[in-house]
Amino acid sequence: MTIARVTEISSTSETGFEDAVRNGIKRANETLRNVKGAWVKEHTVDCENGNITRYRVNLMVTFVLDD
């Protein structure tokens, strides 16, 4: 019997969505144990003066709870 929690984080990057995903997983692992995976719920970009300043992803991160 395994119990996992699913938490939503948003993470950004200045270069692209895949980099934003990696940043998010990296940060999640700093505070959570047993991170199993994530579903990318949203892809958005912020813009200023005609340029993309940030790529953002909202991730639903699943991590298994210790018994």
In the complex, least distance from residue 20 CB atom to a second copy, rounded to whole angstroms: 8
Instruction: Output the smallest distance, CB 32 to a second copy, in A.
Output: 10
* Contact criterion met (CB below 8 Å) for 9 and 62: no
Per-residue contact track with a second copy, 18 to 57, x per CB under 8 A? x--xxxxxxx-x-----xxxxxx-xxxxxx--xxx--x--
Residue 11 burial (CB count, 10 A): 20
Helix (H) or strand (E) holding 22: helix 17-31
Query: How far is residue 67 CA from its own chain's centroid?
Result: 25
Interface residues with a second copy (CB under 8 A)? 1-14, 16-18, 21-27, 29, 35-40, 42-47, 50-52, 55, 58, 60, 62, 65
